[in-house]
């Protein structure tokens, strides 16, 4: 008799369990410590979302204080590690707070997250430089990390809808630096500092973001413009696929996972009867019935508050209409860049879309599956970062070999 392996949940709440898995996975890159994470969340009861925020904010503040003390004592390695962990913990706290009705502390909590990230930049042993990226009539904030033993290749890391820069570090920056890649990270429209400080919103036409990013990084000293790859995390899988349909100068692309239609992660939670109202143009009816439904679905209401903020929309109908613009179904066939598409078993946000993107880009794409039997299932395979890095960067190394 066969046995399907599974990992016991860390929380009875599926959303909180996934957050804990992500936090534990980041420990592989130093952006967390398992014991302090599990101890911090141990007393949080199911449904206590204020307590969830307070647990992470408290852990982040304690870790930040440790970082400050280590820096004052000139223990730079310890300070860098604590600042990185604090920034990752504040990142979870920011997302927890974003889903609550009372978000008065959101700006100050994000400021603490960014302060911890800046502390990490100031103390890390990795060479890093600020790279302001010209974008329309302003600049996007960027940072280029340079490895001690460069391979000559460069990676552009593209964040998702809500991840902290510390989480991006754990997902792909740290393993890339270990392999000799220079890595550029940045905040795009609606992401992190662009959302919380500049109040910008997402845009679906991400080629208008990644093209100036490519131009900026290609012009830096020591960067080979023919060996620049791009890596999209979570909803970054959409950003990258969309951009590559129009921007063909990247040597290779990675989506983790593949995302063809962002809106499905929204519309699958909306009753078909309501969607028919929306499709018929009855937006007032849709908004009214959605508002009523949210009263009886606090979990969905929290998710909506959290996820809708970066789109800059005001009503339910307006939000769905905007999110439906985020699709590559009609342009994916234009992608000519070699593309690696990660596909974890039990993908909970965009199930089946990695396979769909692979079908739409069959001439240039490679589908890379991860399974529960490897402990690598669920969105962005949170508990298998080493396995994901090994397979992903082995593929990338072969594409960018000089």
Q: What is the pLDDT of residues 222-265, one digit of tens each?
A: 999 999 999 999 999 999 999 999 999 999 999 999 999 999 99
Tell me the whole-structure pTM to 2 decimals: 0.95
Report the distance separating Cα 372 and Cα 11, nearest Å: 18
14-123 and 127-262+326-400 share one CATH topology? no
Look at residue 173 and tell me whether its pLDDT is greater than 70.
yes
The answer to whether 119 touches 163, Cβ cutoff 8 Å, is: no
Look at residue 364 and tell me whether its pLDDT is greater than 90.
yes
322-350 pLDDT, tens per residue? 999 999 999 999 999 999 999 999 999 99
Look at residue 402 and tell me whether its pLDDT is greater than 70.
no
Given this model, what pLDDT does residue 356 score?
98
101-124 pLDDT, tens per residue? 888 999 999 999 999 999 999 999
Given this model, what pLDDT does residue 305 score?
87
Name the average pLDDT for the chain: 95
Cα 209–chain centre separation: 16
pLDDT bucket at 1, cuts 50 / 70 / 90:
very low
CATH fold group of domain 14-123: de novo design (two linked rop proteins) (1.20.1440)
Given this model, what pLDDT does residue 99 score?
87
Report the CATH architecture of 127-262+326-400: 3-Layer(aba) Sandwich (3.40)
Structural domain boundaries in the chain: 14-123, 127-262+326-400, 264-323
Query: Using N-to-C axis directions, what is the helix angle for 76-98 and 106-123, rounded to 10°?
Result: 160
The answer to whether 26 touches 162, Cβ cutoff 8 Å, is: no
Cα 131–chain centre separation: 20
301-309 mean pLDDT = 87
**Burial class of 331 by CB neighbour count within 10 A (0 to 12, 13 to 18, 19+):** middle
Tell me whether the omega of the peptide bond preceding residue 257 falls within 30 degrees of 0, making it cis. Answer: yes
Given this model, what pLDDT does residue 161 score?
94
136-157 pLDDT, tens per residue? 999 999 999 999 999 999 999 9
């Amino acid at each position: 008799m066969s046995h399907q392996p599974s990992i016991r949940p860390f929380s009875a709440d599926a959303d909180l369990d996934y957050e804990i898995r992500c936090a534990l996975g980041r420990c592989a890159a130093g952006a967390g410590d398992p014991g302090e994470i599990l101890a911090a969340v141990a007393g949080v009861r199911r449904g206590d979302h204020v307590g969830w925020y307070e647990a992470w904010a408290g852990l982040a503040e304690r870790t930040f204080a440790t970082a400050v003390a280590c820096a004052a004592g000139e223990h730079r390695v310890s300070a860098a590690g604590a600042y990185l962990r604090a920034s990752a913990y504040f990142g979870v706290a920011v997302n927890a707070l974003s889903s609550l009705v009372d978000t008065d502390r959101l700006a100050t909590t994000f400021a603490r997250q960014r302060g911890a990230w800046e502390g990490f930049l100031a103390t890390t042993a990795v060479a890093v430089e600020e790279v302001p990226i010209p974008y329309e009539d302003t600049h996007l904030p960027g940072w280029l990390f340079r490895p001690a033993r460069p391979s000559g290749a460069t990676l552009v890391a593209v964040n998702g809808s809500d991840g902290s820069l510390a989480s991006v570090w754990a997902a792909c920056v740290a393993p890339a630096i270990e392999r000799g890649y220079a890595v550029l990270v940045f905040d795009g429209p609606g992401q992190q500092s662009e959302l919380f400080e500049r109040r910008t919103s997402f845009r679906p036409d991400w080629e208008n973001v990644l093209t100036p990013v490519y131009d900026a990084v290609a012009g830096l000293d020591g960067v080979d413009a023919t060996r620049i790859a791009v890596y999209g995390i979570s909803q970054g899988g959409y950003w990258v696929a969309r951009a590559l349909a129009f921007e063909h100068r990247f040597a290779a692309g990675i989506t983790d996972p593949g995302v063809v239609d962002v809106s499905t992660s929204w519309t699958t939670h909306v009753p078909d009867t309501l969607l028919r109202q929306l499709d018929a143009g009855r937006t007032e009816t849709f908004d009214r019935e959605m508002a009523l439904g949210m009263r009886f679905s606090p979990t969905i209401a929290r998710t909506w508050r959290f996820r809708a903020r970066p789109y800059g929309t005001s009503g339910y109908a307006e939000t769905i209409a905007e999110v439906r613009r985020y699709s590559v179904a009609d342009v994916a066939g234009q992608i000519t860049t070699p593309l690696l598409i990660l596909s974890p078993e039990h993908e909970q946000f965009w199930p089946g879309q990695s396979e769909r993107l692979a079908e739409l880009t069959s001439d240039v794409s490679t589908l890379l599956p991860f399974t529960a039997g490897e402990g690598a299932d669920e969105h962005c395979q949170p508990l298998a970062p080493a396995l994901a890095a090994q397979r992903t960067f082995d593929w990338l190394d072969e594409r960018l070999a000089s």
